[in-house]
A and B are shown apart, each in its own frame.
Chain A
Amino acid sequence: MDAKHTGHMSRSMAVFAIGFLLFPLLAVVPVSFTSKRYLSMPEGHWSLRHYAALFSSSDWMSSIVQSVLVAACASVIATVLAVTFSVGVWYVRSRIAKAMVALVLVPMVIPPVISAMVLYFMETKLGSWMPSAGYDTLPGVVIAHIVVITPYCVVTMLVALSPLDRRIELAARNLGAGLAQTTFMVVLPNLKLAIASTFFLGLALSWEEISVTLFVTSVNVNTVPRHIWTDLRDNISPGVAAISVLLLALTTAVLLGRMAVQHLAARRQTTH
């Protein structure tokens, strides 16, 4: 009886906590369907006008294209860097390699605003040599995103590598495979799903990145998060609600995709 009582109490408190977590996300949805021009509840007149406005706005469309480009480039490069680094560390597993891991993960603990400032510094210097890849350029944003997202990609890869049986490497070597053959024909095929999940993580992180993006762009580059930021600061229109709902849907889809990948990976491991 007593046990059920505590369970009951903590659960009813948890319902409030869960409500608190989901409340602001759900609050956005009805507002995006208002038929009015300003931010309001639909009040019986549901309308898709703000979604239509979004898709006919060249500003928003160019933001979406830029965000997609940046996220695709940054996540591909970050994945390649994270995979080579993690596989290298997995082969070597020395004290120096461990120190390298710690070093590579440092940007994760540094507050975003400081990383943003550091990358602003880097981009302005880079821009003085190579204006096409520096401050307020698409390649510049890609470089900044790579720096920010790669540590997270490394963590994902290292976690995936830790249960990998080391004997597969030895077996391959004994059978006469070189490092490249071992890597491409034995190690990497075992990591396909981990690499996919690393890529998705990088894609999501880069797509949503705002703190650093704000510091390294001004007028030429306007990613979706930057666009939302400007709208939220200047005049909040229901268009922001519409794009927010689309982002909610997209994020949930990516999340489900990632969960499916993990589920597949888990099933593979149990059947093998």
Chain B
Amino acid sequence: MNAVNSTAFKRALLIAPLPLLLALLYGLPLAGVIGWSVTLPTPGLEQYRQVVTDPSIRDMLLRTLRLCLSSTVLAVAIGYLLSYCWVFASRPWQRVVEIAVFVPMWISVLVRAFGWLIALGNEGILNTLLMSVGLIHGPVQMTRNEFAVVVGMVHFMVPYAVFPLSSSMRQIDRRTLLAARGLGAGGLRTFWAVLVPQTLPGLLGAFLIVFVFCLGFFITPAILGGGQTTMIAEYVYLQMFQTNNWGLGAALSVVLLAFIGLMAALLMWASRVNKLVR
């Protein structure tokens, strides 16, 4: 009996350090940040009142939603296309898609943003190309604006869309696609009426994951937006390190966290509903 207990104890000793460490280094400070949001600069809900009523913050939040939604839709669409080729195309094609998805994913976010800065710059490759073709006569401003931010975020998020989408496509019985073709449905009809409905859980998952990621990251928007298109995460950074307004930064973080918690709950609920249907 004693031996069993001591084994159980030793096993618990293996498990314990990491959760304890994270509780100390992450859990407690998280509580501290939430505390900041109601104590800095003065105790009370002033920071939250500001989040709700300040027109410039409202503009910033609306811009965040708009940019994140458009980036998410584009990233999921491109991800869907790539997942389709990754799962259903021939071997060599699968390899090419795999490399195209994995290599950028592992490249530093800074290098990727910098790459777009070069590619989209006034004397960049895209402008040069468009001018030599004759589509445009002078360089078009394509960086330091919302367009660049969306391009950069879509580029960053495509791999994260590909994973849930391709895993839901792998679960599909391929014979349903063949059956549709056999019954005379065209390619597009098969796509919309057979493939898309079966991948709805994956689509929803990809959409929520990408959207949540978009809300939270600030490196790409900060570099490609050039200060004109501040989104919530960059706003938090500026509040903390440029205006020293820690309470407001913390309050915005809490709002963001609550919103993301809501999305996560939605994702869990949606996946359970799906299990019920099956």
- Which A residues are closer than 8 A to B by beta carbons? 2-3, 5-7, 9-11, 13-14, 17-18, 20-28, 31, 39-41, 81-82, 84-85, 87-89, 91-92, 97, 100, 103-104, 107, 109-122, 125, 143, 146-147, 150, 154, 179, 183, 204, 208, 210-211, 214-215, 225, 228-229, 232-233, 236, 240-241, 244, 247-248, 251-252, 254-255
Pairwise interchain contact B82-A120, C-beta atoms closer than 8 A? no
Quick one: which of B84, B109, B117, B158 contacts A21, CB cutoff 8 A?
B158
Pairs A-B, 10 closest by C-beta atoms? A111-B216, A6-B187, A24-B115, A88-B14, A88-B15, A122-B29, A113-B233, A27-B119, A85-B18, A18-B100
Alpha-carbon distance A170/B41, docked complex (angstroms): 59
Whether a CB of chain A sits under 8 angstroms from the CB of B107 is yes
- Chain A residue nearest to B217 in the complex (CB): A112
Is there contact, CB below 8 Å, between A210 and B114? no
6 more A-B contacts (CB under 8 A) besides A18-B100, A24-B115?
A18-B96, A81-B18, A87-B14, A103-B19, A118-B30, A244-B111
Task: Judge if B78 is at the interface, Cβ distance under 8 Å.
Answer: yes
Asked if B217 and A17 sit within 8 Å, CB to CB, the answer is no
Enumerate chain B interface residues (CB-CB to A < 8 A).
7-8, 10-19, 21-22, 25-26, 28-30, 32-33, 36, 78, 81-82, 84-85, 89, 93, 96-97, 100-104, 106-119, 121, 123-125, 155, 158, 181, 186-188, 190-191, 212-213, 215-219, 222-223, 233, 236-237, 240-241, 249-250, 253, 256-257, 260, 264
Q: Is the CB–CB distance between A208 and B29 below 8 Å?
A: no
Compute how far the CA of A225 lies from the CA of B113 in the bound complex, rounded to whole angstroms: 12
Task: List chain B residues, Cβ under 8 A from A84.
Answer: 14-15, 17-18
B148 to chain A, nearest CB (A): 11
B74 to chain A, nearest CB (A): 10
Q: Do B103 and A22 touch (CB < 8 A)?
A: yes
Q: Is the CB of A113 within 8 A of B112?
A: no
Asked whether B253 lies within 8 Å of A117 as measured between CB atoms, the reply is yes
CA distance A108 to B193 in the complex (A): 35
State the CA gap A227–B112 with chains docked (Å). Answer: 15
Given A87-B14, A208-B109, check contact A14 B97 (CB 8 Å): yes
Report whether A110 and B257 are in contact in the complex, using a CB–CB cutoff of 8 Å: yes
Measured CB to CB, the nearest residue on chain B to A27 is B119
Report the nearest A residue to B264, measured CB to CB: A109
Query: Contacts A111-B212, A111-B217, A122-B25 hold; do A17 and B256 have CB atoms under 8 A apart?
Result: no
B11 adjacent to A88 (CB under 8 Å): yes
Chain A residue nearest to B154 (CB atoms) is A20
Contacts of B257 in A (CB 8 A): 110-111, 114
